[in-house]
Chain A
Amino acid sequence: MSGNGKTGKILVIGGGISGITAAVEAAEAGQEVVLVEKRAYMGGRVAQMNEYFPKLCPPSCGLEINLRRFKTSSRIRCLTLSEVERISGGPGNYKVMIKRSPRFVNDKCTVCGACADACPVERPDEYNFGLSSTKAAYLPYDMAYPFQFAIDGGVCPGTECGKCVSACEYGAIDLEMKPETIEVGVNAIIWATGWDPYDATDVAGLGFGTHKNVINNIMMERYASVDGPTGGKIQRPSDRGGIESVAFVQCAGSRDENYLKHCSGVCCMGSLKQARYVREQYPEAEIYVFYIDIRAPGRLEDFFVATKNDEKFHLIKGKVAKVSEDSNGDLEVVAEDTLAGGQVKQRVNLVVLATGLVPANGAGLQIEGELQKDEHGFLTIEQSMGAMFAAGCAKRPTDVAASVRDATGVVAKALHFCGEQSLG
């Protein structure tokens, strides 16, 4: 490539939508990429979503394309069940130690499922937030990448059971697989470490964790998903009953100095979207949204307007103070109605807490120099170490499209630290 245009090797930490994007965009621009993901599969949070706002289209459509991009690019090395342990060196020349935990299943796996049939151990399925279970030998989800079973070392009794080993005809199971350390040298590092849902059990009065029919917004995504714990049917967790009324509690812990100070940017749109899920399944259900401000920037306003036009959709400006439960599992939501004044009480079958996004970055990592974070825990734009770039929700709470734009942009910044080489 006539000395014009740099190429090199980039480490991407995190295999959610931002990390996947950074990896494929970098690879398609000619870079070598090492993509490190701590879970057993790529896809991160978006793989757990039912649909995206505002198009109400399934994330697996885009993931399928992105994963095909993995398969066609020989330049991406995907490491699942892996975490970065140590980073040394400097911009243009980092040395990275990656610890890979054993999957106990090797590349010979054909996804035939015989191991799971033979496995005697059940475990809560973290893909469904524990709302269902899998065997200890499990396929993370139907369209997972790598498309390969894994064995949960935390619950598998190991060689003393060994039923899966005899069940597998392909020699794909190795219960004595050990953790390994992988060392790579890279020019630049992209932090796409994403987010965790805020734990609403901390928020006083909302009943999360005590009232069965109080769920959070990502559990709602699983309930609505065809591969979720109820096969896509939105039901009350307590009795698997239908929904006549639902309350969405916005800013459940967010924009609150006692809990999460920041606004998570996406929960308003998330709840509007989930109101559509409810409407699709329950044409008669009453939907209440308790909010402080509805944040629907740009053209997303159209989605807000369209959702609001539903006559059984009620907006109540007010912060929810308390959610209480009666013996039927029904709930009473109490809020200060800041518009009409006074207290509002509303009985509903189901409460969905719009919990916020907490940055999930860089815990337990040894690094020469510090990673700079803001007071909310998000990585700052400028990092003192130079060729390190945060992308997507590691940097600020944003929606998928913004995360993808950002993840694409940081690749351009990473290229500054690559070398002038010929691509051939």
Chain B
Amino acid sequence: MDKKVAVYICRGCDIGDSLDIDALTSVAQENEAAICREHDCLCGDEGCELIRQDIREGANALVVAACTPRFKTDTFTFDSCRTERVNLREQVVWSHEPNDEDTQMLAEDYMRMGLARAKKVDVPEPFDEEISETILVVGGGVTGLAAAIDAAGAGHEVVIVEKEAQLGGWSSKFAKTFPHKSPYRDVEPVPIEDRIAQVESNDKITVYTGAAIEKISGQPGQFDVKLKANGSNPEFRVGAIVQATGWKPYDASRLEYLGYGKSANVITNIQMEEMISAGEIKRPGDGEQAQRIAFIQCAGSRDQGHLPYCSAVCCRVSIKQALIARDMNPDAEAYVLYKDMRVPGQYEDFYRKAQEDSGIFFTKGDVTGVEVVGDSLQVAAESTLLGENIKLEADLVVLATGLVPNAADGEEIRRFNDAKAVIEKGEAGAQLDAAKVTSEELKHLDGSSILNLDYRQGPDLPQLKYDFADSHFICFPYETRRTGIYTAGCVRMPNDSQASQEDGAGAALKAIQSLRTAKQGQAVHPRWGDQSFPDFALQRCTQCKRCTEECPFGTLNEDVKGTPLLNLTRCRRCGICMGACPERIISFKDYSANIISSMIKAVEIPDELEEKPRLLGLICENDAYPSLDTAGLKRIKHSAYIRFVPVRCLGSVNTVWIADALSGGYDGILLIGCKSGDDYQCHFIKGSELMDKRSENVQEKLTQLALEEERVQLVQLPITDYEKMAQVINEFAEEIEEIGLNPFK
């Protein structure tokens, strides 16, 4: 369809009073706008009707030069047309001197850029793929069962894969739980049998016990699963996956200093659960009833030599076990030695109940060791409430050991597999030696994969920290690095069964959402609703593998030659592959190297005699762009020499844009992105970091061209730093002015 570009300039909100609108109109006309209109208040009814009338008469590519695209989004969205927004308000008249030559030039450049974009972009059409709506739940413990019940309740078919012979996980091994309901004072029965019955009677749920995953290939909506189950290999297709593989207790054999292994009467909290289930708390050493029980909290937890983290539930578990022990034997005494009692929320009532019990004693202290003295055990602790070291006699010691996630480290397994492949291939030299070292170092990972995903970037989810397969985001805890695969429960973080079940429900919803979204041909969060997708012109691919390496979401597999194989529904549309590609063969309908280049080239570069530098700002559209808008709202001024182009992520910046800008006469380029490093804030994981690496290459190029390194700078700024934003821009502009104009102008 031929494009009929229509431009609308709003005169409201100081725009008309600060700019020469006639001159702007001329710019639009010179740049092939078929229609160009102005209005005093474009977002009002009359203004919108003006636009609608033109659409009825064939306008199909709109340029609205008014306020920020973040405002009045609905107002300027029209069916079957694309609207490009030219931000004349926040980023021109509210942040620059009115009726000033430089402000006018800025507005005119933004108009040219908007038109360049409008002429190049196409309206994306959603992909159409056959989508399975079945959900796979890996793990049949309390979290997995919750996920399965809620996914089935929402109308979806579910398959549960459980490695043990029965469903229920740890919950079915425990007789009682600490309370999850008001009044939060009494131990409660574990409702696991009900949950299992609910699952078994639900005809939407299929269960495989004694089963493991042999392979999962494909992508969200089209995962092909092959199991190993009781000698057979069932195969089926699912749309999304919930991983609820739970936890295992910390290995107490490493806690010899706490007496474990030295005396049978030093047990773990799991062994204590087993005794409670069996109905009697006896000293394993001699079968006598335990009278003085010492609970050692944080046994191997909150300890840099063991588990540095807190397992969150052990305090409540020990309180429960102490109360049960007292209930079973009112003559018994329980001593709880703790660093901090961590009993959050309403569970405080449960702790209060135990504190009211005259036979339960809570003592703050760091336990330094447990000695076996004859039949008895002596617990030594320091820095207690009394301010001195104490020794405590006990006849049974319970170690509150923590939770270790049942997770597999996808990225490390991949390293191991890659090393193995190099060795098998028998490549010579340093590569082989390195592979041998890696393979030896990581051999413990052999066979450790749980999901066995056929992903270039590893067969399991990447891990966050301490082996937990958690999300990095506080606001978006289900935003992980593999689309359509969500973790829940203790594989994600140590948690109690109630919170884990709630997490299971959350993961089920995300799984449902991912396949419903795929069904509509759209991206998931954080670009939900995006119908664009990367298109690869593979005939020009040089198999450099940069895209397959850099995609943070494992979207791309490789064929034997290294050609990328796109798995569309894994893709988050960040454009990092596009930024990575040296051949520029990757593009989206509405975002490509070509589109952005043409915006960059649309800017009129004044000749050197005018002494007006031109700077390019490539900025993250999620954080830096809104921050710049807020600066505008607050009327904070910044240099009128810079032209901003919002990008999906700094990681999508292709260095060709920088080369184009420099050869086109720009004097400097400022890249503004989100925080990288351990506490990264980039929603595409490592956008700033990747750009930083690419800028190193850019710096080399600058040196070759005898241009100053300072001409290209990367800054990381959080969204709230709008004041600093203006400062950064101005300092950059001053620095470039000092360096002088680009000699290639």
CB within 8 Å of B: which residues of A? 1-2, 4-6, 17, 24-25, 28-30, 52, 55-66, 68-69, 71-73, 108, 110-112, 142-143, 147, 169-171, 225-227, 255, 261-265, 293-302, 305, 317, 338-341, 374-376, 378, 380-382, 396-398, 400-402, 404-413, 415-416, 418, 420, 423
B476: which of A62, A171, A226 is its contact (CB, 8 Å)?
A62
| Cβ of B333 under 8 Å from chain A | no
The reply to whether A375 and B622 contact each other, CB–CB distance below 8 Å, is no
The minimal Cβ–Cβ distance linking B508 to chain A, given in whole angstroms, is 5
Comparing B383-391, B415-423, B599-607, the segment that makes contact with chain A is B383-391
Residues of A within 8 A of B630 (CB): 142-143
CB nearest to B478 among chain A residues: A408
Docked complex Cα distance between A263 and B718 (Å): 32
A52: which of B41, B71, B474 is its contact (CB, 8 Å)?
B474
The reply to whether B719 and A64 contact each other, CB–CB distance below 8 Å, is yes
Residues of B within 8 A of A58 (CB): 718-720
Known: A111-B633, A298-B494, A300-B310. A410 touches B343 (CB 8 A): no
The minimal Cβ–Cβ distance linking A278 to chain B, given in whole angstroms, is 18
Apart from the given pairs A60-B720, A64-B719, A108-B43, 7 other A-B contacts in the complex at a CB distance below 8 Å: A111-B71, A170-B44, A261-B348, A397-B345, A412-B509, A413-B150, A423-B520
Docked complex Cα distance between A325 and B431 (Å): 70
CB nearest to A69 among chain B residues: B528
The reply to whether A375 and B512 contact each other, CB–CB distance below 8 Å, is no
The reply to whether B516 and A297 contact each other, CB–CB distance below 8 Å, is no
| Cβ of B344 under 8 Å from chain A | yes
Known: A1-B516, A5-B512, A411-B509. A374 touches B477 (CB 8 A): no
The reply to whether A405 and B525 contact each other, CB–CB distance below 8 Å, is no
CB nearest to A266 among chain B residues: B344
B504: which of A2, A24, A409 is its contact (CB, 8 Å)?
A409
The reply to whether A406 and B516 contact each other, CB–CB distance below 8 Å, is no
Residues of A within 8 A of B308 (CB): 301-302, 305
Show 9 residue pairs from A and B whose CB-CB distance is below 8 angstroms, ordered by the A residue. Answer: A108-B41, A110-B67, A305-B308, A338-B385, A401-B474, A404-B476, A405-B503, A409-B502, A409-B509
The reply to whether B475 and A17 contact each other, CB–CB distance below 8 Å, is yes
The reply to whether B493 and A298 contact each other, CB–CB distance below 8 Å, is yes
Docked complex Cα distance between A412 and B514 (Å): 13
Docked complex Cα distance between A409 and B12 (Å): 44
The minimal Cβ–Cβ distance linking A130 to chain B, given in whole angstroms, is 22
The reply to whether A142 and B67 contact each other, CB–CB distance below 8 Å, is no
Comparing B178-186, B245-253, B369-377, the segment that makes contact with chain A is B178-186
Docked complex Cα distance between A262 and B227 (Å): 47
| Cβ of B156 under 8 Å from chain A | yes
Residues of B within 8 A of A65 (CB): 475-476, 525-526, 622, 683
Residues of A within 8 A of B516 (CB): 1, 5, 29-30, 423
Residues of B within 8 A of A382 (CB): 181
The minimal Cβ–Cβ distance linking B76 to chain A, given in whole angstroms, is 11
The reply to whether B477 and A401 contact each other, CB–CB distance below 8 Å, is yes
SS class, residues of chain A in contact with chain B = loop
Known: A110-B67, A409-B506. A61 touches B718 (CB 8 A): yes
The minimal Cβ–Cβ distance linking A276 to chain B, given in whole angstroms, is 12
The reply to whether A29 and B509 contact each other, CB–CB distance below 8 Å, is yes
Residues of B within 8 A of A317 (CB): 364, 385
Residues of A within 8 A of B504 (CB): 409
Chain B 355-374 per-residue mask, 1 if CB under 8 angstroms from chain A, else 0: 00000000010000000000
Which B466-480 residues have a C-beta within 8 angstroms of A?
Answer: 466, 468, 470, 473-478
The reply to whether B528 and A72 contact each other, CB–CB distance below 8 Å, is yes
| Cβ of B37 under 8 Å from chain A | no
The minimal Cβ–Cβ distance linking A65 to chain B, given in whole angstroms, is 5
Docked complex Cα distance between A262 and B345 (Å): 5
The reply to whether A297 and B509 contact each other, CB–CB distance below 8 Å, is no
| Cβ of B573 under 8 Å from chain A | no
CB within 8 Å of A: which residues of B? 12-14, 40-41, 43-44, 67, 70-71, 73-74, 133, 150-151, 153-157, 180-184, 302, 308-312, 338, 340-349, 352, 364, 383-387, 465-466, 468, 470, 473-478, 493-495, 498-499, 502-506, 508-510, 512-513, 516-517, 519-520, 524-526, 528-529, 622-623, 626, 630, 633-634, 674-675, 679, 681, 683, 718-723
B153: which of A30, A293, A407, A415 is its contact (CB, 8 Å)?
A415
Known: A4-B156, A56-B679, A300-B310. A265 touches B719 (CB 8 A): no
CB nearest to A357 among chain B residues: B345
Known: A5-B133, A60-B720, A380-B182. A299 touches B493 (CB 8 A): yes
The minimal Cβ–Cβ distance linking A207 to chain B, given in whole angstroms, is 25
Residues of A within 8 A of B623 (CB): 61, 64
Docked complex Cα distance between A6 and B71 (Å): 33
CB nearest to A59 among chain B residues: B475
Docked complex Cα distance between A405 and B499 (Å): 9
Residues of A within 8 A of B502 (CB): 405-406, 409-410
The reply to whether B512 and A415 contact each other, CB–CB distance below 8 Å, is yes
Docked complex Cα distance between A412 and B506 (Å): 7
Docked complex Cα distance between A381 and B347 (Å): 14
The reply to whether B153 and A112 contact each other, CB–CB distance below 8 Å, is no
Residues of B within 8 A of A378 (CB): 346
Most buried by A among B494, B502, B520, B529: B502
The reply to whether B156 and A293 contact each other, CB–CB distance below 8 Å, is no
The minimal Cβ–Cβ distance linking A4 to chain B, given in whole angstroms, is 4
Known: A2-B133, A293-B342, A294-B340. A299 touches B465 (CB 8 A): yes
Residues of B within 8 A of A59 (CB): 475
Residues of B within 8 A of A108 (CB): 41, 43-44
Residues of B within 8 A of A338 (CB): 364, 385
The reply to whether B155 and A143 contact each other, CB–CB distance below 8 Å, is no
B626: which of A64, A295, A401 is its contact (CB, 8 Å)?
A64
The minimal Cβ–Cβ distance linking A10 to chain B, given in whole angstroms, is 12
Docked complex Cα distance between A400 and B153 (Å): 27
CB nearest to B510 among chain A residues: A408
The minimal Cβ–Cβ distance linking A338 to chain B, given in whole angstroms, is 5
Docked complex Cα distance between A298 and B338 (Å): 16
Docked complex Cα distance between A240 and B73 (Å): 41
CB nearest to B383 among chain A residues: A339
Residues of B within 8 A of A305 (CB): 308
Residues of A within 8 A of B722 (CB): 226
The reply to whether B12 and A169 contact each other, CB–CB distance below 8 Å, is yes
B133: which of A4, A57, A300 is its contact (CB, 8 Å)?
A4
The reply to whether A61 and B622 contact each other, CB–CB distance below 8 Å, is yes
The reply to whether A4 and B466 contact each other, CB–CB distance below 8 Å, is no
The minimal Cβ–Cβ distance linking B485 to chain A, given in whole angstroms, is 15
Residues of B within 8 A of A143 (CB): 626, 630
The reply to whether A301 and B309 contact each other, CB–CB distance below 8 Å, is yes
The reply to whether A339 and B385 contact each other, CB–CB distance below 8 Å, is yes
Residues of B within 8 A of A142 (CB): 630, 633-634
The reply to whether B718 and A57 contact each other, CB–CB distance below 8 Å, is yes
The reply to whether B495 and A298 contact each other, CB–CB distance below 8 Å, is yes
The minimal Cβ–Cβ distance linking B454 to chain A, given in whole angstroms, is 25
Docked complex Cα distance between A56 and B718 (Å): 11
Residues of B within 8 A of A340 (CB): 387
The reply to whether B364 and A339 contact each other, CB–CB distance below 8 Å, is yes
The minimal Cβ–Cβ distance linking A137 to chain B, given in whole angstroms, is 16
Known: A226-B720, A261-B349. A170 touches B622 (CB 8 A): no
Residues of A within 8 A of B12 (CB): 110, 112, 169-170
